[in-house]
């Protein structure tokens, strides 16, 4: 049998002890290779999304082959080297071509292969490297959330691993007209250098990636969403203003804040019970001494039109009532060496294994009994990386060593609650999750950017992070308004930062106030019955930062409420097509090359250009207006032709906004 042949809808290449599959998947091509006896079956990002039945065109001739599907074609030459083309025959992407067999082309015996699966001695796993030719002038958009301030990732080296404030979603859109998904949740790196594009997985059993082509970033992202899943329709309580702080310590404290909001005539959709409202981590229930009647609390909030969101941590204290039950069934993370302790903050704790189906069911069943059955319909799934255990070689999951599968943890964490809520009849679950991997959007996950610092630099980085995560398929995203770490309410510079961030939050997919605020207050005893207690953050309500600040923030809460029909339309569009709510300019204006690297302004839907003020003391800012449209300054009514830079006024109570064409919004 030839080493290059077709089998059903697969093009198969055998090279020594390895086998490579090229198959049609959605509107793209999936490439898999292994050196194991059988191709490992895991679908990872494609899980829970039925693959469309596709009949690719396959032609094999003279030791070469072609496979095409939708708008993309792959060609394999006689040496097994793969290149990808669009329907016009234009080269999009090609493997790195420096191996020993290519002497006639390069006359240099480098021996550097495009695809390397090197055995990890004594195991059935491999170290994987995949190499592609770098193309000059290419822009790379997406890849999830990195705190680097970059929209274009060309030239960047990215860690393929999650951390607090870092979400690795290894999908990107190229300015050359293709999209690429690295369908592998292993720890590794991605390097988009000038001389090579290189992907590494430190422990895996196969190469697995997917490529699609499209005329515009919108075409490409929609193809990706079709194979990894679209978000549900965001429920109505996701569209308005959310109130949170570190943290409301008691039932009465929280209710008093909600009552004051309503007394002032301020809308509020969601209020949050943050961490350490429980007796011990892993109990997943209210501490009755501070939260004596949760059912009545939920009832009163609902009468005010407010939903209650409750924090869930995946940590289980060794003293928790659930620790023994879970440990005896193997539902906690396992350790190759050392003690079974992941974190020692506020107790010795270990994370539950969200990759284990029984563990997901156990945690959901507990949360259902202690929260959901009381009327609580939103959960804050915190610590989802999971945090604090970044020495990935030390521990393992139900699905395998952490080095091999840890990227999937936040998805499985979100899936456990999504599946449980769907089983209880909820049509459109929505849960806040601190991290995510490719495909998490289908589990009703609202990602946020983690415990970021309170500074203008951090605010600038969040704009780029939100746009990058949007280009990686996550339509629901938010940041802690004002930043999480630091922020003194008595400092006028911080109040200015908070106002500018609040304006950005108004034009984010979800508008959510949060932060610890400095210095943190300690209320009550440090220990009760031998259990360490956590205090409460400084006041973080809109009336806590002076009368001038209050009036400006009130203005934007009311503006968000007026925009509710527009935001609802954005979420309907995200649900049906996959289009994100916030979009880089290049998403709407793909022909305007000036938009390719602009990371400090964006489109909120198709009709509104938003230019946040990102510098302390700034009362003007330059705004680029894309070509091909007439733009109207929402504050002044002045009209401008596209393709120009305007220096617009931005007093403290104004965020520069420009309406596209004849659009009209209540601004």
Q: Which of 73, 198, 283, 385 is catalytic?
A: 385
Question: What is residue 109's predicted lDDT score, i.e. its pLDDT?
Answer: 56
| 192: its two tokens | 């988009």
Question: What is residue 569's predicted lDDT score, i.e. its pLDDT?
Answer: 98
Minimum mean pLDDT range among 90-104, 274-288, 443-457, 479-493: 90-104
Active site residue 385: yes
- Residue 106's pLDDT band (boundaries 50, 70, 90)? very low
Mean of the per-residue pLDDT values for the chain? 95
For 157-169, how does the pLDDT look when each residue is reduced to its tens digit (9 = 90+)?
999 999 999 999 9
- Residue 50's pLDDT band (boundaries 50, 70, 90)? confident
- Residue 225's pLDDT band (boundaries 50, 70, 90)? very high
* Burial group, residue 373, by CB count within 10 angstroms (0-12, 13-18, 19+): exposed
For 415-433, how does the pLDDT look when each residue is reduced to its tens digit (9 = 90+)?
999 999 999 999 999 999 9
Task: Write down all domains in the chain, each with its CATH number in brackets.
Answer: 4-228 (2.60.40.1760), 244-577 (3.20.20.80), 584-660 (2.60.40.1180)
Question: What is residue 471's predicted lDDT score, i.e. its pLDDT?
Answer: 98
Q: Which of 269, 451, 461, 601 is catalytic?
A: 451
Task: State what percent of residues in the chain have pLDDT above 70.
Answer: 98
Q: Which of 274, 382, 461, 600 is catalytic?
A: 382
Mean pLDDT of 358-382: 98
* CA 550 centroid distance within chain: 31
- Residue 531's pLDDT band (boundaries 50, 70, 90)? confident
For 2-36, how does the pLDDT look when each residue is reduced to its tens digit (9 = 90+)?
699 999 899 999 989 999 999 999 999 999 999 99
* Burial group, residue 17, by CB count within 10 angstroms (0-12, 13-18, 19+): exposed
* Other C-beta atoms lying within 10 Å of the C-beta of residue 333: 25
**Geometric angle at alpha carbon 371, from 307 and 411, rounded to 5°:** 85
For 135-185, how does the pLDDT look when each residue is reduced to its tens digit (9 = 90+)?
999 999 999 999 999 999 999 999 999 999 999 999 999 999 999 999 999
Question: What is residue 110's predicted lDDT score, i.e. its pLDDT?
Answer: 64
Question: What is residue 522's predicted lDDT score, i.e. its pLDDT?
Answer: 67
* Other C-beta atoms lying within 10 Å of the C-beta of residue 108: 11
Minimum mean pLDDT range among 52-61, 270-279, 466-475: 52-61
Interatomic CA distance for residues 547 and 387, integer angstroms: 38
Question: What is residue 230's predicted lDDT score, i.e. its pLDDT?
Answer: 98
Active site residue 451: yes
């Amino acid at each position: 049998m030839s080493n290059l042949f077709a089998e059903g809808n697969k093009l198969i290449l055998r090279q020594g002890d390895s086998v490579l599959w090229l198959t049609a998947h959605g509107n793209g091509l999936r490439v898999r290779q292994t050196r194991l006896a059988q191709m490992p079956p895991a679908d990872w990002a494609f899980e829970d999304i039925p693959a469309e039945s596709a009949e690719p065109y396959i032609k094999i001739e003279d030791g070469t082959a072609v496979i095409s599907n939708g708008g993309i074609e792959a060609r394999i030459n006689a040496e097994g080297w793969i290149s990808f083309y669009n329907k016009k025959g234009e080269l999009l992407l090609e493997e790195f071509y420096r191996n020993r067999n290519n002497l006639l082309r390069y006359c240099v015996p480098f021996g550097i292969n495009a695809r390397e699966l090197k055995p990890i001695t004594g195991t059935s796993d491999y170290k994987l490297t995949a190499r592609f030719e770098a193309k000059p002038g290419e822009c790379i958009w997406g890849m999830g959330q990195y705190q680097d301030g970059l929209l274009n990732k060309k030239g960047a080296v990215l860690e393929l691993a999650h951390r607090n404030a870092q979400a690795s979603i290894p999908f990107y859109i190229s300015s050359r007209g293709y999209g690429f998904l690295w369908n592998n949740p292993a720890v590794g790196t991605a390097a988009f250098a000038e001389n090579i594009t290189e992907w590494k997985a430190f422990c895996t059993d196969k190469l697995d990636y997917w490529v699609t082509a499209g005329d515009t970033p919108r075409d490409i992202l929609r193809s990706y969403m079709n194979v990894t899943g679209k978000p549900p329709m965001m429920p109505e309580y996701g569209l308005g203003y959310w109130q949170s702080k570190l943290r409301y310590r008691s039932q009465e404290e929280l209710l008093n804040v909600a009552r004051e909001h309503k007394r002032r005539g301020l809308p509020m959709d969601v209020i949050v019970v943050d961490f350490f409202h429980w007796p011990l981590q892993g109990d997943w229930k209210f501490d009755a001494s501070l939260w004596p009647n949760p059912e009545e609390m939920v009832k009163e909030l609902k009468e005010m039109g407010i939903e209650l969101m409750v924090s869930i941590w995946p940590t289980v204290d060794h003293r928790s009532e659930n620790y023994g039950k879970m440990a005896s069934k193997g539902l906690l993370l396992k350790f190759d060496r050392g003690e079974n302790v992941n974190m020692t903050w506020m107790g010795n704790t270990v994370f539950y294994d969200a990759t284990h189906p029984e563990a997901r069911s156990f945690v959901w069943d507990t949360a259902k009994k202690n929260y959901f059955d009381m009327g609580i319909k939103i959960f804050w799934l915190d610590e989802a990386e999971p945090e604090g255990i970044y020495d990935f070689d030390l521990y393992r999951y139900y699905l395998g060593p952490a080095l091999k599968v840890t990227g999937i943890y936040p998805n499985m964490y979100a899936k456990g609650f999504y599946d449980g809520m769907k089983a209880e009849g909820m049509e459109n679950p929505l849960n806040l999750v601190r991290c995510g991997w490719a495909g998490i959007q289908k589990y009703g996950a609202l990602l946020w950017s983690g415990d970021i610092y309170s500074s203008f630099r951090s605010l600038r980085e969040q704009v780029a992070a939100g746009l990058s995560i949007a280009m990686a398929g996550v339509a629901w995203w938010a940041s802690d308004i004002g930043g999480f770490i630091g922020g003194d309410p008595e400092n006028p510079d911080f109040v200015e930062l908070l106002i500018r961030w609040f304006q950005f939050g108004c034009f984010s997919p979800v508008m959510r106030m949060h932060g610890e605020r400095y210095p943190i207050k300690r209320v009550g005893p440090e220990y009760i019955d031998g259990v360490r207690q956590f205090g409460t953050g400084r006041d973080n309500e809109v009336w806590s930062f002076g009368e001038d600040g209050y009036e400006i923030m009130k203005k934007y809460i009311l503006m968000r409420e007026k925009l509710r029909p527009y935001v609802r339309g954005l979420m309907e569009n995200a649900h049906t097509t996959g289009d994100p709510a916030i979009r880089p300019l290049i998403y709407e204006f793909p022909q305007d090359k000036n938009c390719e690297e602009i990371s400090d302004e964006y489109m909120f839907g198709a009709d509104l250009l938003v230019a946040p003020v990102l510098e302390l003391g700034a009362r003007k800012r330059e705004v680029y207006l894309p070509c091909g449209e007439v733009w109207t300054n929402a504050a002044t009514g002045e009209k401008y032709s596209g393709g120009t830079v305007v220096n617009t006024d931005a007093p403290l109570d104004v965020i520069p906004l420009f309406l596209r064409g004849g659009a009209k919004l209540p601004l």
